[in-house]
Chain A
Amino acid sequence: MNLTLHVWRQADRRSGGAFATYEARDISEHMSFLEMLDVVNEGLEARGEAPIAFDHDCREGICGACSLQINGVPHGPDKGTTTCQLHMRSFRDGDTLVIEPFRAKPFPVLRDLVVDRGAFDRIIEAGGYISVRTGQAQDANSTPVNKQDADEAFSYAACIGCGACVAACKNASASLFTAAKISHLGLLPQGQPERHQRVLSMVAQMDLEGFGSCTNQYECEAACPKEISVSAIARMNRDFVVASLRGR
Chain B
Amino acid sequence: MATATAGTGAGVFGALLQRTIGLKLLMAVTGLIWVGFVAQHMVANLQVFMPMPADGVHPLNRYAAALQSLGGLLWVARIFLLVVFVAHVYAAIRLTQLNRAARPVDYRVRTTQVSTFSSSYMRVSGFALLFFVLYHLAHFTFGAVDQAAYARTLPGGMHDVYGMVIVGFRNPIAAGTYIVANVFLALHLHHAVSSIFQTLGLRTPRYAPLIDKLGPAVGLAVGAGNIAMPLAILLGLVGQGVS
Interface hits, A93-108 → B, CB 8 Å: 98, 100, 103-106
Q: Are A73 and B15 in contact (CB under 8 A)?
A: no
Q: For the complex, what is the distance from the CA of A238 to the CA of B198, rounded to whole Å?
A: 9
Q: Are B2 and A234 in contact (CB under 8 A)?
A: no
Q: Are A204 and B24 in contact (CB under 8 A)?
A: no
Residues of the A chain whose Cβ atoms lie less than 8 Å from the Cβ of B161? none
Does B89 belong to the interface (CB within 8 Å)? no
Of B20, B111, B198, the contact of A71 (CB 8 Å cutoff): B111
* Nearest CB of A to B148, in Å: 45
Interface hits, B201-238 → A, CB 8 Å: 201-205, 208
Of B113, B195, B198, B201, the contact of A219 (CB 8 Å cutoff): B113
Residues of the A chain whose Cβ atoms lie less than 8 Å from the Cβ of B101? 105, 210, 212
Does B95 belong to the interface (CB within 8 Å)? yes
* Nearest CB of A to B192, in Å: 9
Of A207, A213, A215, A234, the contact of B203 (CB 8 Å cutoff): A234
Residues of the B chain whose Cβ atoms lie less than 8 Å from the Cβ of A216? 119, 191, 194-195, 198-199
Does A171 belong to the interface (CB within 8 Å)? yes
Determine the interface band of chain B, counting residues with CB < 8 A from chain A. Answer: 35 or more
Q: Are B24 and A213 in contact (CB under 8 A)?
A: yes
> Contacts A217-B119, A247-B7 given: A172-B113 contact, CB under 8 Å?
no
Q: For the complex, what is the distance from the CA of A72 to the CA of B98, rounded to whole Å?
A: 22
* Nearest CB of A to B107, in Å: 6
Q: For the complex, what is the distance from the CA of A33 to the CA of B202, rounded to whole Å?
A: 39
* Nearest CB of A to B158, in Å: 46
> Contacts A200-B2, A200-B3, A203-B19 given: A104-B103 contact, CB under 8 Å?
yes
Does A117 belong to the interface (CB within 8 Å)? no
Does A32 belong to the interface (CB within 8 Å)? no
Residues of the A chain whose Cβ atoms lie less than 8 Å from the Cβ of B199? 214, 216, 237
Interface hits, A33-72 → B, CB 8 Å: 69, 71-72
Does A4 belong to the interface (CB within 8 Å)? no
Q: For the complex, what is the distance from the CA of A236 to the CA of B22, rounded to whole Å?
A: 12
* Nearest CB of B to A206, in Å: 8
Does B83 belong to the interface (CB within 8 Å)? no
Q: Are B16 and A244 in contact (CB under 8 A)?
A: yes
Does A25 belong to the interface (CB within 8 Å)? no
Residues of the A chain whose Cβ atoms lie less than 8 Å from the Cβ of B122? 215
* Nearest CB of A to B227, in Å: 26
Q: Are B106 and A103 in contact (CB under 8 A)?
A: yes
Interface hits, B84-102 → A, CB 8 Å: 95, 98-99, 101-102
Q: For the complex, what is the distance from the CA of A103 to the CA of B199, rounded to whole Å?
A: 25
Q: Are A218 and B114 in contact (CB under 8 A)?
A: yes
**Can you list 11 A-B pairs with a CB-CB distance of less than 8 A?**
A6-B108, A98-B108, A103-B106, A173-B20, A206-B20, A213-B99, A217-B120, A222-B114, A223-B113, A233-B198, A244-B22
